[in-house]
Every structure is written in C-alpha cells, then in structure tokens.
C-alpha cells in the first residue's frame, strides 16, 4: 500500500506527515490556557464540557503564557526536537477584546522557534474585527483556526446545548477561507441517540466544505458535567471500541485525501472519566484503526 499522503504505514493523511512536508522538520504543538472564558457559559455551556473547557492537557492558567509554553516545551523535548506551534486550546480563544487577543497571541509568536499558532474557538465567536486581525496574522505566520461543530444534526446540537446552528458554522468557514485561513473542524462520534449513518452524514457534509483538517473525537463522559447527570438517568448507548473503530474507518473513506487528520480519538484523564473506560487507551484505539484499515484494504477517500 502506498498512500500518497503518508510516509509510514498509515492509510490516512497524518498531521506529522503534513507538517514534515511543509516545514521539513518535526513540529510540536504546545497546548496553552490563556484564561479565556466562553460566551455560551451564560446559557449553561455544552453538556459534555468540563470546568477546564476542553483544556485538560493545556497549561496551568495560574502560570503566565511564557511559563506555560516553556514547561510544555521542556516536557516535549524529552521526546522530540523541532519547531513549535502555540496551541490556544482551553475554552473559546477568540472571546476577548481584540487588544487582549493580540497581546496573548503576539507573546507566543515572539518566542524562539515558534512558526505558528493554532487557535481553538467557536464559529459564533469571531467578530469582523477579529477576523481582519486573523487575516493579517495569517500573512506573517502559519495560522490554523479550529472550529467546534461536533455534529451537523440540529436535534443533537440542541440536546448537547451547542448554542449555534449549522448555518453559523458554514458561514464562518466561508469567511475564514475567503481570508485563506486554514480551518480544522472538531466532530464527536457517539453523541446521545445518534446512529452510525448520522455520524457518516456529518463527515460527508464536511467533505463538501473547504476545510483543511478534521479532529474526530469519541464522546466520553466526564465527572461533574451535565452529560454525566443525563447518562446516569437515561443510560443512553455508548459506542464500544470496535464500533468506534469501524465508524471512524468508514468516515475516513468519505474524506478527501488532502484533508489532514489531526486527531482520531480523545484521551481524557482517567481520574475525570465516567465512561467508556476504553477511551483511556488511546494507542490501542489508533492501532485498532490501522489494523482495521489494512485488513479491509481501506484508504482515506476511498468512497468519494
């Protein structure tokens, strides 16, 4: 098997391959917590979100950004050497006055060997003023905007209290791409009451949009979230590891080969996890995906 976007045994377009082709070196993302909030908290927030706002592996917000970055760099350098991307991960990283955003982003860009930024945010939380600044930023560094979508299905979006509709997401993708800004989309498999076909429909829809990357997560239930309360009350079905692997592999078949796969599963902290337990073993899931794709002779983009 010789997949065009692979320098390994992977049958999908890996982020490592993408970075090495672009920068000719190892690129290391350093996760940061800039202390931002989220506008959606006023209406309760997404039901699966912990009090860390999807920033379980980001830096400690008690530390300033440079300290966070240096701690992350020191830890990562035990395994790799290369250049760095500052990843603004926790909560909504465009939810602040423009001057504050500039101060946070520019602080990281000034550091040695930082070649870019990845900024996680919501499609309903990028003002026109912010968009113009991001456009300018994109001309002088390698910029990626990560947009949470989770599902295209409005019924599910209401259930998880997502707080924006599909049109809002589509419009923001268009606005970002008009500025030539790379877009990575987050989706979640296994959301309550979604079928396999619904999960495939989400990916088929995204494949038609001008996106450059995707992060696929498995729904996991964390302690002290609204989702935990719903799960304990309703006991809705959670995907098994084998079901998840099969769905992900089929989703990859519906994605254009040039779309970069930034993530294929989540990895929550064990102490925070309610269910399912198998998500803790990230390597097992990734190996399972590799084996399933090889056994069934699947490569990314097969079904387009």
Res 53: pLDDT: 46
Calculate the average pLDDT of the chain. Answer: 93
Mean local confidence (pLDDT), 184-192: 97
Structure tokens at 100: 């504050």
Res 55: pLDDT: 47
Mean local confidence (pLDDT), 97-121: 97
Decide yes or no: CATH 3.40.50.2300 for domain 15-295: no
Res 184: pLDDT: 98
* Residue 185 predicted with pLDDT over 80: yes
Q: Parse the chain into domains and list their residue ranges.
A: 15-295
In tens, the pLDDT along 261-296 reads 999 998 888 999 999 999 999 999 999 999 999 999
């Amino acid at each position: 098997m010789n997949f065009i976007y692979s320098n390994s045994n992977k049958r999908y377009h890996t982020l490592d391959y993408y970075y090495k082709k672009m920068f000719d070196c190892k690129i290391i993302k350093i996760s940061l917590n800039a202390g931002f909030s989220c506008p959606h908290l006023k209406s309760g927030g997404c039901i699966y979100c912990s009090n860390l706002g999807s920033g379980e592996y980001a830096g400690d917000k008690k530390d300033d950004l440079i300290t966070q970055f240096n701690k992350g760099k020191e830890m990562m350098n035990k395994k790799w050497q290369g250049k760095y991307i500052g990843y603004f991960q926790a909560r909504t990283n465009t939810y602040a006055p423009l001057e504050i955003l500039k101060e946070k982003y520019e602080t990281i860009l000034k550091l040695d060997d930082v070649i870019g930024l990845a900024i996680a945010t919501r499609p309903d939380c990028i003002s026109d003023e912010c968009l113009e600044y991001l456009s300018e930023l994109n001309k002088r560094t390698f910029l990626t905007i990560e947009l949470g979508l989770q599902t295209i299905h409005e019924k599910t979006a209401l259930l998880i209290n997502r707080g924006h509709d599909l049109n809002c997401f589509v419009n923001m993708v268009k606005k970002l791409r008009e500025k030539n800004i790379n877009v990575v989309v987050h989706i979640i498999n296994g959301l309550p009451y979604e079928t396999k076909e619904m999960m495939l429909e989400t990916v088929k829809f995204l494949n038609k949009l001008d996106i450059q990357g995707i992060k696929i997560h498995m729904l996991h239930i964390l302690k002290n979230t609204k989702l935990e309360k719903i799960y304990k009350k309703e006991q809705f079905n959670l995907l098994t590891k084998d079901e998840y692997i099969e769905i992900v592999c089929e989703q990859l078949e519906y994605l254009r080969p040039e779309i970069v796969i930034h993530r294929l599963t989540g990895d929550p902290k064990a102490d925070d996890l309610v269910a399912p337990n198998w998500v803790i073993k990230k390597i097992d899931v990734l190996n399972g995906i590799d084996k399933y794709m090889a056994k069934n002779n699947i490569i990314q983009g097969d079904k387009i």
